[in-house]
Structure 1
Amino acid sequence: MQFGNRKIIPSLPDVVLLRIFKHLSYKELCLAEVTCRRWQNLIHQKFRKQCTELVVEQMGYFHIEAALNVALERLTISCPFNSDEFLSGVMRRHHGWLRKLTCDVSFLANVGKLKLKKDTRKKFFTGCDNLWIVMLGCSDELLKEFAAIEEMLFLVSF
């Protein structure tokens, strides 16, 4: 959008952009964050304030859904077990400031396989102090995968 020779959207103040972002869905925010570094920073700032809990539901889902509940500060992700690329994006956006996590043990066992640009010495969920693990199905192989990555997940071992 231009006004004469001047582009309007890049010159909007952060406060105005945040008000616009307030009306976008989670999916639309994820698409908007790739526009430029400024938008990415603003959207991540918004996520830090509005999303302290992540719920990952994978059993029985055949397509990806994401719902951000601002009142509860909860992001609920519903996706099939083979949604590694999508979950990688969610983890890149949120893993650093989550306080609560609810997921299946298979999600935690497979976190190490997600494509994250993260220092390998850092833990995945450093600020998470409330964890609910749902055991929908468990095998010896899954438990071995979980045990192999457990020390990379949290500051404190359970």
Structure 2
Amino acid sequence: MLAEKLEAARGLAEALIAQALAGVALPVAEAMGYAVRGGKGLRGFLAVESARLCGFDAVQAGPAAAAIECIHAYSLVHDDLPCMDDDDLRRGQPTVHRRWDEATAVLAGDALQALAFELLAGAGCPDRARVVLMGSLAQRAGVRGMVGGQAMDIA
């Protein structure tokens, strides 16, 4: 049952991201899709289950699940860059900067971060909840959260 819920949440998040990228015929969009596919989807699953505990269904939670998966993918794309950890493989596949190039990887990561907030901005929840979600994600992804942790890691 847990495996099915995990797969459903991952599928929901990936579908929303793919829908957002549909029709964008640029290598950077292809790199974005590549970066989000193949992960476990645990963060999106936690978003869906947290929303469920608050009375929302999976469809309502989908934008939050997709947003957190975008942030996670962006962090991995940037972490793999030569100026950070310089990894060649991620999930057994070439990293984004190896499959494309460094510039595309930087832009794909940046665009994934922007897409996360675009997805939350379009979420079908009350305005106040949307503002809280966006502020919370910005803080946890920023210098007081993930970016700050990465800065300490490379220092």
Q: TM-score of the superposition, structure 1-length normalised?
A: 0.28
Q: TM-score of the superposition, structure 2-length normalised?
A: 0.28
Query: Which has the larger helix fraction?
Result: 2
